[in-house]
Amino acid sequence: NSWLKENLNPLLIPTITTPTDFPPLGQYKLYFKPDGLLYSLNWKGEEQTLKPGGNYIQMINRSVFTLRSGDITIQDKTQAFSVTTTNQLYHPDAFGISISETPPNQTALIQYSGQAQVLMSTFQVNTGDFLYTGQVNREGFSHPSAAIGALGRILEPKTYGSLGKVSVLLSGGLGKV
């Protein structure tokens, strides 16, 4: 945590106890708290702790959907620094996970490595499976075999029939193994 704070503070990320002003619609702000952890606050006032050891990038949400926390994104190759969503299984341009709710054409915070919470489809998920884009837009899909488009490895199971988030170790936004 101290490394994170020492290396991000030069980027003018403040240390505050309680946020007093919310960012504009569709945006978020980053700040440290006295506990040394990095936090994200969206325009609705929803606060989220960003896990140490993860890597994040700001990208424009070019999807027609509002990104939810835990949604899988793919790189939008038609526009610089942009992501979108897909309902194509094993998409080779898999990129990262949305950290907070972000409307279309707004700046999204995308996690591309480290431990993340990913929204998975209603299919069963097994520990050790590989994470891929799924047939339902924005939701993840798991499979025991490695292939092009793998975003990471599943760290915990989920039963069949339940829509929910699972912990995943992301492999760096490469979309390949």
Rounded CA-CA distance 77/160 in Å is 34
**How far, in Å, are 40, 79, 83, 114, 123 from residue 73 at the CA level?**
19, 14, 6, 16, 19
For the chain, what is the largest distance between any 2 Cα atoms, rounded to a whole number of angstroms?
47
State yes or no: pLDDT of 56 exceeds 50. yes
Which residues are CB-neighbours of 159 under 8 A, at least 6 positions away? 124
Report the percentage of the chain scoring pLDDT > 70: 78
pTM value > 0.85 = no
Confidence of residue 76 (pLDDT cuts 50, 70, 90): very high
Q: Which residue has the tokens 């194509």?
A: 88
